[in-house]
Amino acid sequence: MSELTHFNEDGRARMVDVTAKDETVRVATARGAVYMRPETLAAIKEGQIAKGDVLAVAQVAGVMAAKQTSALIPMCHPLFITGADLSFNIDEQSSKVDVQAVVKTTGKTGVEMEALTAVSVAALTIYDMCKAIDKDMVIDNTRLIEKTGGKSGRYVREGEI
């Protein structure tokens, strides 16, 4: 495990200085899932949720979240996001919506937190829009799938791609 860098010489939290790092193209992919009752999933699929098009709203919420990550996570650097896209897969057999976010930038630090935040907020938005009919939904398995760019290069979660 590499040395943690978010602490100063006094052991207090700090934002890492990335001044000397090279700018590279950086891409991160994250995924998560929202499990729900089959009737809830059917209502999403058929556009029968009273609050509107669940996946369209979750898409916008995820993009907005990626852009606001540094306002939510204290030691994240504000980044110029050059791309953010979310996709959803309705899995009727498992009664869930899979959420995926791909976030891109050219910069000195990666976009892993932005991709994870996008997935998290998109999943929370699905929950919010459907909670009137299904309070038992579960948001699960939010994780980094892949990241590229920077000094550490490419990372791929084993068994995911």
Q: Which residues are catalytic?
A: 128
Measure the CA dihedral 1/33/117/43, to 10°.
180
Give CA–CA dist 137/38, Å, rounded: 11
| CB burial of residue 12 (10 Å; 0-12, 13-18, 19+) | exposed
Does residue 84 contact residue 111 with C-beta atoms inside 8 Å?
A: no
Residue 124 has φ and ψ, to the nearest 5°, of -65, -35
